[in-house]
Amino acid sequence: MRWLPVLFVVGLLVLEPLTPVDWPVSFVLIALPLVAAFAHGPLVVAGATLFAVAFEGVLAGTPCCAGRSVGYLWDRHYVASYFCTALVGALGAILAAHRTRRERTLADVRFVAEIAQRVLLRPVPHRIGNLLLESLYLSAAAEARIGGDLYEAVPTAHGIRLLIGDVRGKGLLAVETAATLLGAFREAAHDEPDLAALADRVETSMDRRAMLLGGSELGERFVTAVFAEIPAAGHLVRIVNCGHPPPLLIRSGEVRELDRGQSAPPLNLGMLVDDPYHVDVYDFRPGDQLLLYTDGITETRDPDGAFYPLVERLRSWGPLPPRELLEQLHRDLMAYSHNRLQDDTAALTACLLADQRSAPPAPSAP
């Protein structure tokens, strides 16, 4: 874009000698200030305006250009062209100044959004103990940075605790709800020894916030979520599901859902049932990989309206390390939807490595 004015003038120079005398192509230079305004500031636009006026005079008075004579220089048609070029130049300078201000404002907004994303969805550590971690976040809006999908990984004395969630709705209210949930989880993850108690405490925080907000949609401000816990000792994973898509366990290329049909209601809807949160326990061996995700993945559609077959795709790829897995998932989602995601998407994967501290010592040399 910065070279567009130069290309415009070069193209005009090539076209001018090829046109008949009755076709004064040099008048097209009137548009040069507007062309410059697309990528440059007011000063460059003003310079382009002066250049266009001067160059129109040169073309008009150069005999070699389609036979025109010096007498055409002050022809009333050319005088009108000079005036129009100056007027377009003034409008182009105003447009360039407005565009520059908008670009600065947009840059500031993006900077603030990036800071907010780091606070709300800070990058998870790539490794905690014997656990490899990777995360993925895709926004359905091209300019969006944060939304209602969330994830977190917190190392605690009770093990590594994971969270993934999806806030109902969009906009600022969804972001505020996500921030409340993440703040409550990050604090309570260290204090609550039991995973069910952790989910209950986060539920209490969500209820308190909803009561403070008030309004007629109190019961609709809910979040689907999955809480997971991988103890430092013992090869198992504990799961509390609150109305969220079930996690996937990837083992030697085989993929299965971790779902025993005992999911609790979404957070902030716990008042609908009196049953306590149920903790499901699964075997989690070295080499196994746990995939937590939001429904933005499974509800991605192709142009024919078919949903994304996540489990089948994972099985077809075979075993992949966490980073390669999410990179492949990202590429495949974009290709499947033809780069038209309909919803925000988040994923968090954790792979258990062999505990080298428990490995038997190497035999000594004879």
Q: Is residue 268 part of a domain?
A: yes
Do 237 and 130 share a domain, yes or no?
A: yes
163 lies in the same domain as 268: yes
Of 69, 87, 112, the one marking the end of a domain is 112
Strongest mean pLDDT among 174-188, 190-204, 273-287? 190-204
Based on the fold, state whether residues 323 and 203 are members of the same structural domain: yes
Are 87 and 104 found together in one domain?
A: yes
**Is residue 364 in some structural domain?**
no
Min mean pLDDT across 39-43, 56-60, 157-161, 277-281 is at 56-60
Nearest alpha carbon to residue 326 among 352, 302, 348: 348
Of 106-110, 142-146, 162-166, 213-217, which has the strongest mean pLDDT?
Answer: 162-166
Q: How confident is the model at residue 279 (pLDDT cuts 50, 70, 90)?
A: very high
Residues 257 and 335 in one domain: yes
- The amino acid that residue 13 corresponds to is L
Of the candidates 260, 188, 266, the residue with the CA atom closest to the CA atom of residue 229: 188
Do 105 and 136 share a domain, yes or no? no
Query: Are 104 and 252 part of one and the same domain?
Result: no
Q: What percent of the chain has pLDDT over 90?
A: 37
Q: State the pLDDT confidence band at 71, using cuts at 50, 70 and 90.
A: very low
1-29: average pLDDT: 72
Q: Which residues neighbour 354 within 8 Å (Cβ) at sequence distance 6 or greater? A: 130, 286, 287
Within a domain: 196: yes
Do 170 and 284 reside in the same domain of the chain?
yes
Neighbours of 253 (CB within 10 A): 12
Tell me which range, 34-43, 145-154, 246-255, is most confidently predicted by mean pLDDT: 246-255
Query: Is the pLDDT reported for residue 364 higher than 60?
Result: no
**Last residue of one domain, picked from the residues 112, 131, 148:** 112
Q: Is residue 188 part of a domain?
A: yes
Q: Does the residue 41 lie in any domain?
A: yes
Model confidence at 41: pLDDT above 90: no
Residues 97 and 158 in one domain: no
Question: Residue 360 pLDDT > 50, yes or no?
Answer: no
Are 301 and 345 contained in the same domain?
yes
In-domain check, residue 191: yes
pTM of the entire predicted model: 0.70
State the CATH number of the domain containing residue 240.
3.60.40.10
Q: Do the beta carbons of residue 9 and residue 3 sit within 8 Å?
A: no
- 112 pLDDT exceeds 80? no
Three-class secondary structure of residue 338 per DSSP:
coil
Report the number of distinct structural domains present in the chain. Answer: 2
Residues 172 and 314 in one domain: yes
What is the rounded average pLDDT for all residues in the chain?
A: 81
pLDDT on residue 290: 96
Q: Is the pLDDT of residue 154 over 90?
A: yes
Quick one: 271 and 128 in the same domain? yes
Of the residues 112, 134, 162, the one at which a domain ends: 112
Q: Is residue 60 part of a domain?
A: yes
Q: Flag whether 361 is in a domain.
A: no
Q: 10 Å Cβ neighbour count for 361? A: 5
Which domain does 145 fall in, by range?
A: 121-355
Q: Which of 19-23, 100-104, 133-137, 263-267 has the lowest mean pLDDT?
A: 19-23
pLDDT over 90 at 164, yes or no: yes
The pLDDT tens digits for 295-325 are 999 999 999 999 999 999 999 998 899 999 9
Written as one letter, the residue type at 319 is: P
